[in-house]
Amino acid sequence: MPNFLKAIGCLLRRDLTVALRRSTDVLTPLVFFIIVVSLFPLGLGPEPSVLRTIAPGVIWVAALLATMLSLNRLFANDHADGTLEQMALSPHPLTVLVLTKVAAHWMLTGLPLVLISPLLAVQMNLPESAMGTLVLSLLLGTPVLSLLGAVGAALTLGLRGGGVLVSLLVLPLYTPVLIFGAGAVAGVIAGIDIEAHFSLLAAFLALALTLAPWAAAAALRVSLD
């Protein structure tokens, strides 16, 4: 269905163009991520062994919070100016359009976090052998964070104090990703076999990819009612 793919391409380009013209929105989570991770060596003192132990957890928690910070941007602007309404009335399945919006969100939030993480890992004295695992775990984990976040953002759309509510809604769903993501990196440092961690992260991604867009689309229809 070429029309269908054209619609996806059109929406993706639109979202990326808007984000580039509002670059502060894109930079905020990234700067937050860098600041949080950078504060730990300052607060705890530059003891290399301590930093190495906490590095996986700190980087993962910071990535999770940075993603959460960007969630209300996902639908709120489009809701306020009425473009979301138009999207819901377009002849394309809303599920696919939501998935496209999430993909754009991940490219602008998750991907920059993944790309900058090796630099922060060096700062946290993470051994070189764990670097690949960190990047790979974030690469698998951050799309899950965006997908689950979309459901929370859609449910709290247009509510007062939606920002706090969305954190409460998605945090329980984020914890497994955090546990296995940070666990994989810590496992490599400790020399444990981490295949299971990656299998589970990939399973979360597969599950979120199939269910989250559908749930978020249903939630959007309710929010627009």
Partner 1 sequence: MLEAVDLECVRGDRPLFSHLSFRLKPGELMHVTGVNGSGKTTLLRTLCGLTHAAAGEVRWNGSTIHELGDDYRSQLAYVGHSNGIQGELTAEENLRAACLGTAADTTRIQETLKRLGLAPYRHFPSKVLSQGQKRRLALARLAILRKSLWILDEPLSALDVNSVVLMTEILMEHLARDGLIIMTSHQEIDVETKTILQIQLD
Stretch of 73-81, 115-123, 145-153, 188-196 lying at the interface with partner 1 (CB under 8 A): 73-81
125: left (phi over 0), alpha (psi -120 to 50) or beta: left
Please name the amino acid found at residue 76. Answer: A
Number of C-alpha atoms within 13 angstroms, CB side, residue 123? 16
> Measured from the CB atom, is 85 or 195 closer to partner 1?
85
101 Cβ contact partners less than 8 Å away, ≥ 6 residues apart: 11, 15, 74, 75, 150
Which x/- pattern over 133-172 shows residues binding partner 1 (rule: CB under 8 A)? ----------------------------------------
**Residue 10 interacts with partner 1 (CB under 8 A)?**
yes
Contacts of partner 1 in 74-93 (CB under 8 A): 77-78, 80-83, 85-86, 88-93
**Residue 3 interacts with partner 1 (CB under 8 A)?**
yes
Stretch of 17-25, 35-43, 121-129, 201-209 lying at the interface with partner 1 (CB under 8 A): 17-25
Query: For residues 20 and 25, what is the distance between their CA atoms, to the nearest angstrom?
Result: 9
**Residue 99 interacts with partner 1 (CB under 8 A)?**
no
DSSP sequence for 12-59? HHHHHHHHHHTHHHHHHHHHHHHHHHHHHHHHH---HHHHHHHHHHHH
- Contact set with partner 1 (CB under 8 A): 3, 5-11, 14, 17-18, 21-22, 77-78, 80-83, 85-86, 88-93, 224-225
